[in-house]
């Protein structure tokens, strides 16, 4: 009886430094991944939109189209996980990356060991989330679809990023229960909470705006001062 060999995860690495790109490609191939390289933001965006990759690694400072702009445009069409890489490691640039829909942010310089750990963590999370592909429908008509990492109301998709979806889905499963920021960071964003990290606040702000845009008024994400966030039923 023949054993079927699992298909290696497909990774697109968009990095204009040829030496770093070569090291990243060689290391990830040695870890068992199928890696495609691009050295230009515009070309990388076209590849990410056209082909089915399991993960995109993208530098921010790129020729053609910078990483943040490419990510913003990619999110309009694809929910593929994106790990940003950049020497711009200050808080403002991290917030900008997460606000555009990044799933993780790896400041340069980084070790190849840390890169592969981050990559494997994202791919494990995606594989776990894809096990349940059937959408669930709340009593108020909100449809949660794990496969798309998005929610819909009356057939209109909200357009959440994967990170925004995980935050909302966690709040929805714990309706009327205040969830702390450390808990949400660990369970939804898959990383430790830092007092100066405002990415969760950015995700919540976008969730609120997008839900209002499709006319969802049955529940709202409220701030619990000194605690975190809670999904509260309207009129409560």
Q: Print the SS3 string covering 39-59.
A: CCHHHHHHHHHHCCCCEEEEE
> What is the DSSP code (8-state) at residue 7?
P
pLDDT score recorded for residue 206: 95
* Closest to 173 in 3D by CA, of 165, 161, 185: 165
Q: Where on the phi/psi map is residue 186: left (φ > 0), alpha (ψ -120 to 50), or beta?
A: alpha
- Please give the C-alpha separations between residue 89 and each of 36, 59, 96, 163, in angstroms, as whole numbers: 25, 12, 11, 20
User: 195 burial class (0-12, 13-18, 19+ CB within 10 angstroms)?
Assistant: exposed
41-80: pLDDT as tens digits: 999 999 998 888 999 999 998 888 888 899 988 887 788 8
In this structure, the strands spanning 136-137 and 104-107 are unpaired
Whether residue 83 contacts residue 102, with contact meaning beta carbons closer than 8 Å, is answered with: yes
| pLDDT lower than 50: segments of the chain | 1-5, 133
pLDDT score recorded for residue 100: 80
Dihedral of the alpha carbons of 197, 62, 121, 226, in degrees to the nearest 10: 10
pLDDT score recorded for residue 138: 59
Query: How far apart (Å, rounded) are the C-alpha atoms in residues 169 and 49?
Result: 26
pLDDT score recorded for residue 64: 86
pLDDT score recorded for residue 12: 96
pLDDT score recorded for residue 16: 93
pTM of the predicted model, to two decimals?
Answer: 0.57
pLDDT score recorded for residue 1: 36
pLDDT score recorded for residue 5: 44
- In the chain, the domains with their CATH numbers are 10-130 (3.40.50.2300), 136-233 (1.10.10.10)
Whether residue 163 contacts residue 103, with contact meaning beta carbons closer than 8 Å, is answered with: yes
């Amino acid at each position: 009886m023949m054993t079927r060999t699992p298909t290696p995860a497909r990774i697109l690495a968009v990095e204009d430094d040829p030496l770093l790109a070569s090291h990243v490609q060689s290391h990830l191939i040695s870890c068992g991944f199928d890696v495609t390289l691009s050295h230009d933001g515009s070309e990388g965006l076209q590849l990410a939109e056209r082909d089915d990759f399991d993960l995109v690694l993208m530098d921010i400072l790129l020729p053609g189209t910078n990483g943040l702009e490419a990510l913003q445009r990619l999110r309009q069409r694809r929910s593929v996980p994106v790990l940003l890489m950049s020497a711009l490691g200050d808080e403002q640039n991290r917030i900008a990356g997460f606000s555009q829909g990044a799933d993780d942010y790896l400041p340069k310089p980084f070790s190849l060991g840390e890169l592969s750990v981050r990559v494997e963590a994202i791919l494990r999370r995606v594989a776990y989330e894809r096990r349940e592909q059937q959408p669930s429908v709340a009593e108020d008509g909100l449809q949660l679809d794990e496969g798309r990492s998005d929610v819909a109301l009356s057939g209109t998709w909200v357009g959440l990023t994967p990170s925004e979806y995980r935050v909302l889905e966690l709040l929805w499963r714990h309706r009327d229960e205040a969830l702390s920021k450390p808990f949400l960071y660990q369970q939804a964003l898959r990383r430790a909470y830092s007092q100066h990290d405002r990415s969760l606040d950015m995700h919540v702000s976008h969730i609120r705006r997008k839900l209002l845009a499709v006319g969802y008024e049955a529940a709202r994400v409220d701030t619990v001062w000194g605690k975190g966030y809670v999904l509260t039923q309207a009129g409560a």
